[in-house]
Amino acid sequence: MKLLQNKRALVTGAARGIGLAIAKKMAVEGADVILNDLQGESLDAAVKKLKEDGLAAQGLHADITDEPSVKRMFKALEAGGGLHILVNNAGTSIRGVRAQRTGLTDHLIRKIAEIETEDWLGVLSLNLTGTFLCTRAAVPLLIASGSGRIINISSKAGRAGSDVSDIAYVTSKAGLIGFTKQCAKELGPRQVTCNAIAPGMTLSEWFKAHWESLDEAKRSQILSNVPLNRPAEPEEMANACAFLASDQASYITGVTLDINGGWYFA
């Protein structure tokens, strides 16, 4: 029997990158996977590709920062057969929010004095409020499943600060670790576990572009702090999420799992 046979999973922000890798791994492990994303066209393309590979996948287009959209998404999930696993993956940084607001992408890391309030709020809105809205809506379905699982995608940045991201991102990812602990406390008695992973540098599309824009000396300097001496592949995050979502992780809750090549550990 496959690891996630007979499970139904929702992965937010799953049209690309780490979210897509998680959705694919869960589908390969037998789950019926629902991919959510804000970007409708990329979402449709991702779902089409998974289906062509013979995997059970469908898309639900929604902006997870918008309460009515989240409510609609969970109504559809309830009608379609409930939910065992929620992966709160959608997340961004000041760079991402600015790119969305202005249409211009750069790889500058802005310091606190250079950050506009609107961009700060944009990061917190997706990384924290979006996670809260999805989790709150999922709780009744996860409880009804009898062995619900919540997995939050935090970051090494939330554990130890960051040289490659900004203060809004670091703050939100640290917040997710607290959110994870409190969900574990509140939902444990209902047999719902809640854990987080804290990825280090991971070669999703945007990070790969950023990584390749750095010169060799800068890359070596960053990697000198990473014992495994390389960034991660998205699949390495997905493998851990599939385990945490499975029955094999039945007694693990409230934990944040560092997956960073040894860059940081407690």
Ligand X SMILES: NC(=O)c1ccc[n+]([C@@H]2O[C@H](COP(=O)([O-])OP(=O)(O)OC[C@H]3O[C@@H](n4cnc5c(N)ncnc54)[C@H](O)[C@@H]3O)[C@@H](O)[C@H]2O)c1
Place of tokens 């869960």: 26
DSSP symbols for 160-189: H--SSS-HHHHHHHHHHHHHHHHHHHHHGG
DSSP secondary structure letter of residue 128: I
Place of tokens 């997870």: 64
- How many residues at the interface with ligand X, by CB under 6 A? 29
Please give the structure tokens belonging to residue 85: 């696993």
Q: What residues between 30 and 89 interact with ligand X by CB under 6 A?
A: 36-39, 63-65, 89
Measured from the CB atom, the residue of 30 and 35 that comes closer to ligand X is: 35
Catalytic residue selected from 169, 179, 207, 243: 169
Whether 251 sits among the annotated catalytic residues: the reply is: no
Q: Is residue 91 at the binding interface for ligand X, with CB under 6 A as the rule?
A: yes
Measured from the CB atom, the residue of 37 and 119 that comes closer to ligand X is: 37
Instruction: Kindly state the smallest distance separating residue 1's Cβ from ligand X, in Å.
Output: 29
CA distance linking residue 183 with residue 136, whole number of Å: 10
Measured from the CB atom, the residue of 64 and 86 that comes closer to ligand X is: 64
How many beta carbons lie within 10 A of that of residue 214, not counting itself? 14
Each residue 97-136 as x (binds ligand X by CB under 6 A) or -, in order, gives -----------------------------x---x------
Segment (H or E) for 213? helix 205-213
Measured from the CB atom, the residue of 253 and 260 that comes closer to ligand X is: 260
CA distance linking residue 62 with residue 68, whole number of Å: 9
Q: What are phi and psi of 78, to 5 degrees?
A: -65, -45
Each residue 2-31 as x (binds ligand X by CB under 6 A) or -, in order, gives ----------xx-xxxxx------------
- Binding footprint of ligand X on the chain (CB under 6 A): 12-13, 15-19, 36-39, 63-65, 89-92, 126, 130, 153, 155, 199, 201-202, 204-207
